[in-house]
Amino acid sequence: MPRRLSTTLALLAPAACASIALAQPAGQPTGAELERVPTRPAKPAEPDAPAGQGGNGLAFDLKAWTEHVFRADVHDSQADVAITRFGGQFGISGPIGERWRWNVEAAAEASWYDFSRLSTLVGVDDPVEDVLQITLTPSLLYRHSDSLSFLAGGIIQFSGEPDADVSDTATYGGFFGSRWKISDSFSLQIGAAVKTRLEENVRFFPAIGFQWQINERVMLATEGAGLRLSADLNPQWTFFLEGGYALREFRLDHRDSGPLDEGVFRDERVTIGAGFDFKPSLNTTISLTGGAAVWSQFRFDNRDGVEIAEEEADPTAYVGLAVRFRF
């Protein structure tokens, strides 16, 4: 009997801390959403840094988040949709000698799509409701010097409805990136990633990113396929503006009949938002964000990747909350 995606999630939950289940605020794409484009390689270890802060010991990164995208009308149909997401991510890294560090990141995400009157678009009322995404990302970081480091790794991802066959939800890829510290205030990242897709051609992602410390309080930096401008208001509070692109693809489960039997659902969007980071302690960050999905598109394909329906949705608002622990 084929293994279901929901069963795989249960088996991987302890490793992924996925019991928190699930996705990231819009405008802050995760590695899962962006095919792990390496525009921000991990910070190289500092010789005198303590464990958990980029030093020579084990470091842990734990994050949980939730997001709600408010209801929006779907063009050229009577359908509308609201989306709720929850997510969890766990990362661990450690040293290999003086110049190498290994890293393993595991993330799980669940999204609930509350479509209404979708039959006017695809012929059935509920082609997709709840979907899961599991991503494992092992990587290696090599510190060539204080100003130059390299990051390379792989991607294993499962994405689909809970009853979809695991083998039909799997995609794979890899990435490589370099970080060059040009000055004390500016770093340049150059990288690329390649990844298979659900019933689509393999996608190649060239990526150029940067981190610019404009002054003591203000920073402009790329984050995956997004851009973030942040300003420290005081040691605990930071205000930020951000924009980003995200793509999600999910395998639909088996249906007795119809064009969407084991098909693919794709959710693509561009967001612009603002928010605050609150740091009650050195290792804890609480982020509150809100903004607008200024462009979004939904697409339904059959099992062979042939398009059944594709429509854009009206701009709508979103809110998100994230908590992150590093130790």
Q: For the segment 204-246, what is each residue's pLDDT rounded down to a tens digit?
A: 988 889 999 999 999 999 988 899 999 999 999 999 999 999 9
How would you classify residue 197: left for phi > 0, otherwise alpha for psi between -120 and 50, otherwise beta? beta
Helix (H) or strand (E) run with residue 67 in it: strand 59-73
d(CA 88, CA 294) in angstroms, rounded, equals: 25
**pLDDT band with cut points at 50, 70 and 90 for residue 7:** low
**Which position has the token pair 């799509």?**
113
Number of domains in the chain: 1
Q: For the segment 50-84, what is each residue's pLDDT rounded down to a tens digit?
A: 344 445 589 999 999 999 999 999 988 888 999 99
Residue 90 · residue 103 · CB < 8 Å: no
**pLDDT band with cut points at 50, 70 and 90 for residue 44:** very low
Residue 228 · residue 240 · CB < 8 Å: yes
**pLDDT band with cut points at 50, 70 and 90 for residue 43:** very low
DSSP 39: S
**Which position has the token pair 């639909």?**
252
What pLDDT does 88 receive? 97
Helix (H) or strand (E) run with residue 16 in it: helix 5-16
Can you give the residue range of the structural domain that contains 111?
A: 5-326
What pLDDT does 50 receive? 38
To 10 degrees, the CA torsion angle through 62, 193, 9, 67?
60
Residues pairing with 137 in the sheet = 105
d(CA 162, CA 190) in angstroms, rounded, equals: 36
Q: Which of 115, 116, 130, 114 is nearest to 23 (CA)?
A: 130
